[in-house]
Structure 1
Amino acid sequence: MTTSTNSPAQQPLPVDATSAALSARGVSKSYGRGDTAVRALHEISLDFERARFTAIMGPSGSGKSTLMHCLAGLDNIDAGRLWIGGTEITDLPDAELTRLRRERVGFVFQAFNLVPTLTAKQNITLPVTLAGTAVDEGWLQEISSSLGLLDRLSHRPHELSGGQQQRVAVARALLTRPDVIFGDEPTGNLDSATGAEVLSLLRRSCREMGRSIVMVTHDPVAAAYADRVVLLKDGALVGELERSSPEAILQALAKLGS
């Protein structure tokens, strides 16, 4: 990531970076150059508390997916500073950033991203296997039991329902006990009942396992499972909601489009 040109006085460090799962200060990101440049993010400053579920919402093109990718260290930023836990990732070398993501960040995607030739257990443990570290079998059993997967661990993805496949993805994200789990439209390919089940599991991972969840979604019903909803428009932070109903979230989104 490129070094910010802003001075420390302009972009203060979080009061206690170790108390937050994620922190952003003055984060800006553009695509393209000159007259064709598109501003994706403009001076975003946010803290994401530990063990809280946050949804990121906004109209199409508001920058919500770009923000998630930058927070996770998947995309470079043009200016500002970023932390995961107490570790600043703004200029972290690629090898160290890859290791940090593997050990302290989990991902749950819309398309599940399971390897079809592997069993559910092998898919869950794949990141640990690739890292060459030992699987904590006790923790794996605890997660699998909590997510209702104990009798499905030997099954391959085509033998599982969509909801079960997404549970496997959630278990994979939880296995390394990450600081934060990012969800990119995690219920986008699920029916409403199965989606509600997965969202409940994510919320439980906050309350019972102490994980922090950051989810990008366009669905007010999904966002209502979150403790907090962050609203973006044209790449800028324009508001927040706390523990809101789908109706209140939909109304806030409608105001952004007006």
Structure 2
Amino acid sequence: PTTPPAAPAAAPAAAPAAAVRAAGLVKVYGDERTGVRALDGVDVEFEAGRFTAIMGPSGSGKSTLLHCVAGLDTPTSGRIWLGDTEIGSLGDEALTRLRRERVGFVFQSFNLLPTLTAKQNVLLPLDLAGRAPDPQWFQYVVSTLGLTDRLSHRPAELSGGQQQRVAIARALVSRPTLVVADEPTGNLDSRSGAEVLSLLRASVRELGQTVVMVTHDPVAASYADRVLLLADGRIHGRIESPTPQAVAAAIAGAETRRAG
């Protein structure tokens, strides 16, 4: 199909301005006084229907921020809202359900089950939630990702790029509020990596998804609508409509300031 299927009738008429927002986010590993302060008072909004990359030097708090806003890690203090839901107020069972239904995950390691076919891997989150897939949406996602003729293959029969496509389809199939991608091209060659980044870009432009990606690669970051620059657990800058050159220069500047 050339156009995505209509959203379910129960969906709101308009997406919220922010798919996710955080206020005063602090994350300390270890003792509050002497431990590692991975996040140091972060205020951030990730707009619905946009692709945001998070970059910064090693140890700047990139993955910690991603994991906190996705509900995978608990901040030491501060508040996080996924849509209109404050996730800090949820118990373990409700938080697990929220992650399963409203957050899609794409990681560096593809995390596919080797005994399942590509189709079974894609549908696994819905199976775990006891939900039936929307057939029209499923077909649209797998055709957009170029997986139609790969659905009966097991992961060992797929290339790395194809496996990551399956992982992206799995992240999209439940129509999540947010897709988080942690170094999604880290295990791929440059060609497969470019394909995966183009597919994440397409999921924003054509499927209306909200994607937040951590990467260390300025070229990967240039696929995003904007880049957030982190250093020492704080946001130190933003780049709109990034180019690889602008991102590389900003990261080099951050490293220089840190060294100084």
- Same fold per superposition (TM over 0.5): yes
Larger CA deviation: 17-26 vs 221-230: 17-26
Shift of 1:19: 2.2
Residue in 2 that maps onto 1:4: none
Aligned to 1:235: 233
Partner of 2:224: 226
* 1:147 matches 2:145: yes
Structure 1 distance, partners of 2:242, 2:169, is 27
Within the candidate set 12, 25, 28, 1:27 is matched to 25
Measure the CA separation in 2 of the matches of 1:70 and 1:109. Answer: 15
Q: Find the counterpart in structure 2 of residue 170 from structure 1.
A: 168
1:209 to 201, 207, 223: 207
**1:6 aligned partner:** none
1:154 alignment partner, SS class: coil
Q: Deviation at 1:78? A: 1.4
| Percent identical residues | 64
1:35 deviates by: 5.5
Partner of 2:130: 132
Deviations 1:205-235 (A, max 9, x none): 0011110000000000000000010000011
Determine helix, strand or coil for the equivalent of 1:117: coil
Query: What amino acid is the match of 1:82?
Result: I
3-state secondary structure, aligned to 1:97:
helix
**TM-score normalised to structure 1 length:** 0.92
Q: How many residues align?
A: 242
Q: Distance in 1 between matches of 2:126 and 2:242?
A: 37
Q: Distance in 1 between matches of 2:177 and 2:116?
A: 26
CA distance in 2, matches of 1:243, 1:35: 39
Which amino acid is 2:68 matched to? C
Indicate how the Cα distance of structure 1 residues 52 and 191 shifts in structure 2: closer, same or farther if over 3 A, else same: same
- Is the 2:222–2:241 Cα contact (8 Å) retained in structure 1? yes
- For 1:112, the aligned partner's letter is F
1:90-125 per-position Cα deviation (integer Å, ceiling 9, x unaligned): 221111111111111000011110000000000000
Task: State the TM-score, normalizing by the size of structure 2.
Answer: 0.91
Q: CA deviation at 1:58?
A: 0.4
Find the counterpart in structure 2 of residue 53 from structure 1: 51
SS in 1 for 2:179: strand
Shift of the 35–77 alpha-carbon distance from structure 1 to 2, 3 Å rule, reads closer
Deviation of 1:36 (Å): 3.6
**Contact 2:16 2:48 (C-alpha < 8 Å) held by counterparts:** no
Instruction: Output the amino acid matched with 1:31.
Output: Y
Give per-residue Cα distances to partners, 1:126-174, cap 9 Å, x unaligned: 0111111112222111111111111100000000011110100000000
Residue ranges of structure 2 left out of the alignment (5+ in a row):
1-14
- How far the C-alpha of 1:34 sits from its partner, in A, is 5.4
CA RMSD in angstroms comes to 1.1
Counting only pairs closer than 5 Å after superposition, residues 101-140 of structure 1 correspond to structure 2 as 101-140=99-138
Residue 193 of structure 1, aligned match among 170, 191, 194:
191
After TM superposition, the runs of 4+ consecutive aligned structure 1 residues lying more than 4 A away are none
Deviation sequence 1:178-226 (CA, Å, 0-9, x none): 0110000000011111101100000010011110000000000000000
Q: C-alpha separation between the residues in 2 aligned to 1:132 and 1:79?
A: 33
Pick from 53, 56, 78 the counterpart of residue 76 of structure 2: 78
* Aligned mates of 2:236, 2:37 — CA distance in 1: 15
